[in-house]
Amino acid sequence: MIPSTHQIHGAIQVAETTPVLSDTWVRDFSLTWINRFSFFFAHHLTRPLLPLYLVSFGASSTVVGAVIGIFTVTSTVMRVPVGLYIDRLGRKPFLFYGLACLTAANFGYFWAPSILLIIPCRILHGAGWSGCSTAISTLAADIAPRARRGELIGYAGMASSLAGSLGPVAGFALFDVSGYSGVFLGAGGLLILALFLSKIVPEPKNALSSERIGHWTEALVVRETLMPAIAAAFLSFGQGGTLTFLPMHAIHLGLRNPGLWFGLYAFCLLLSRPIAGPLSDRISRRAVIIPGLIMHMTSFVLLALANSTTLLWIAAVIGGMGVGAAQPALMTLSVDQTAPQRRGQSMAQYQCFYDLGIGIGSLSLGVLLDLTEQSFMLMYLTTAAVSLLGLCYYNTKSNLPLPLDSFAA
């Protein structure tokens, strides 16, 4: 017999009725937050300096783009096997060995004598990143009590957002003081701290699965959480273009330091998390996602119309608040609609689509700029149109029932 939607939700709730470390969840969640912040901070400490480091070896722009892109390709491809086995082997092995790969890659960059030897470090970095980032997201979802899940997943996301805003600033500060050696050694210290923390973060045992995957498609796709993952790809499409091309537009409009724009964007993103998370728990995920997607789309319309820095600042505020509301709520929706035994795979699927959106956005919008003789207006209007498609997609699909063959009653 095919279970009803009511039975499906009941099955998920029964699976989660046993409290997971109910008396220690605050401590455990805090450990995951510090762990996440540490390795995200290390990642963003080196990320903006790696292209300059490659140029110091004599790399051309094409070589720099290719070497940097290896990381994204590797991490995206590795999401599928990581998501599949993280639910069977546990979260902590992927967290620990992923961080070990990140640490080895970080020191490999420092010690590599040529670009050719930096390439395997990028592959190692991408593989490790897919493991530790998926594992820490899943652990946070495992530990968070259901009643506060939206709020706490929002707080967990603050760790990576804060690291993303502070890391580049700290990286360039270290570079000014002690060069590339100071940057890589600083990142290495943070990664060693994260490695230590990964050994003491407890893992809820009732979240692991011993079930065999049935049809081969189940190993690749978590059907019940495909909708929020695709919606996240529409969301990150615009972020990919913004991260890549906004600095050029901002400088053209007279903003000497585009980093200030990203700082304001990150601040508003962080500011929205403590507000949007509790609202998604008390009202609904949809009540947070829809306004967030609308604000995200509006920010690109403002960027398209910007002929001075004033609209740039307004777009940063609206865009940061929108992404800060919608992105963690979509991730929480993926957790809500997945049994604990497939939670790791669902998180990997979500992050895979998010990464794909960023990559496709950066590539396609760059081509569009070249075809339109650097028309930022057309680029942003195209991005707003894609955001509108994402809003329509989510609005339509979120009203449909969950797949009825995903869980046993």
What are 31's two structure tokens? 């450990």
**C-beta separation of 91 from 142 below 8 A:** yes
Distance CA 17, CA 187 (A): 40
Euclidean distance between CA atoms 368 and 145, whole angstroms = 45
pLDDT on residue 171? 84
- Of 3-7, 117-121, 235-239, the one with minimum mean pLDDT is 3-7
From the number of C-beta atoms within 10 Å of its C-beta (0-12, 13-18, 19+), residue 81 rates as middle
What distance separates the 2 farthest-apart alpha carbons in the chain? 68
pLDDT for 224 beyond 70: yes
- Per CATH, 24-208 and 217-399 having the same topology is answered yes
Residue partners of 364: CB distance under 8 A and separation at least 6: none
Give pLDDT, residue 14: 38
Mean of all residue pLDDT scores within the chain: 79
Contact 175, 167 (CB under 8 A): no
The answer to whether residues 75 and 127 touch, using CB atoms and an 8 Å cutoff, is: yes
pLDDT at 4: 41
pLDDT, mean of residues 359-376: 78
State the first-to-last Cα distance of the chain, in angstroms, to the nearest integer: 10
Q: Is the pLDDT of residue 6 over 50?
A: no
Q: Give me the residue label for tokens 């051309």.
A: 60
Q: Residue 208 — very low, low, confident or very high, per pLDDT cuts 50/70/90?
A: low
Task: Indicate if the pLDDT at residue 16 is higher than 70.
Answer: no
Angle (CA) 103 65 48, round 5°: 50
What pLDDT score does 245 carry? 72
Mean pLDDT of 279-308: 89
Q: Are 401 and 8 in contact (CB under 8 A)?
A: no
Percent of the chain with pLDDT over 90: 22
Contact 191, 42 (CB under 8 A): yes
- 246 Cβ neighbours under 8 A, 6+ residues apart: 258, 261, 262, 303
What confidence tier does 25 reach under pLDDT thresholds 50, 70, 90?
A: confident
The yes-or-no verdict on residue 215 having pLDDT over 90 is no
DSSP H stretches of helix in 18-60: 25-46, 50-55
**Residue 338 vs residues 61, 137, 190: alpha-carbon distances, Å:** 43, 14, 32
Q: Count the alpha carbons within 13 Å of 296 in the hemisphere toward its beta carbon.
A: 31
Q: Which of 229-238, 329-338, 377-386 has the lowest mean pLDDT?
A: 329-338
Tell me the pTM: 0.71
Taking only Cα atoms into account, the Rg of the chain, rounded to an integer number of angstroms, comes to: 21
| pLDDT confidence of residue 296 | 93
Handedness of CA 80, 206, 160, 146 (dihedral sign): positive
Q: Residue 77: CB partners within 8 Å, gap ≥ 6?
A: none
Look at 38 and 142; give whichever has higher pLDDT: 38
Is 23 a residue whose pLDDT tops 80?
no
DSSP calls for 92-139: HHHHHHHHHHHHHHHHHHHH--SHHHHHHHHHHHHHHHHHHHHHHHHH
pLDDT beyond 90 at 308: no
Residue 19 predicted with pLDDT over 50: no
Q: How far from 305 is each of 6, 18, 96, 247, CA to CA, in Å?
A: 47, 52, 47, 16
Q: What is the pLDDT of residue 158?
A: 79
Mean pLDDT score, 315-324: 90
What does the pLDDT look like over 271-286, one tens digit per residue? 887 788 788 878 888 8
Q: What are the tokens at 1?
A: 């017999």
What confidence tens digit (pLDDT) does each residue in 89-116 have? 888 899 999 999 999 999 999 898 888 8
**What does residue 212 show for φ and ψ, rounded to 5 degrees?**
-85, 140
Q: Which residue has the higher pLDDT, 77 or 337?
A: 77
State the pLDDT at residue 76. 82
Quote the distance between the C-alpha of residue 220 and its chain's center. 19
Domain 24-208 bears CATH identifier 1.20.1250.20:
yes
**Per-range mean pLDDT, top range of 21-25, 190-194, 254-258:** 190-194
**Which CATH entry fits the domain spanning 217-399: 3.60.110.10, 3.40.50.300, 1.20.1250.20, 3.30.1330.60?**
1.20.1250.20
All structural domains of the chain with their residue ranges:
24-208, 217-399
pLDDT at 243 over 80: no
pLDDT at residue 317, as a whole number = 93
Which has more confidence, 8 or 165?
165
CB 155 within 8 A of CB 273: yes
Tens digits of residue pLDDT in 50-93: 877 888 888 775 677 678 778 878 888 888 788 778 877 888 89
Q: Is the pLDDT of residue 199 over 50?
A: yes
Both structure tokens of 324: 């800060």
The answer on pLDDT for 12 being more than 90 is no
Given a cut of 60, whether residue 211 has pLDDT beyond it is no
Integer Cα distance of 121 and 115 in angstroms: 10
How would residue 401 be classed by pLDDT, with cut points 50, 70 and 90? Answer: very low
Are 379 and 372 contacting, i.e. CB atoms less than 8 angstroms apart? yes
The yes-or-no verdict on residue 189 having pLDDT over 50 is: yes
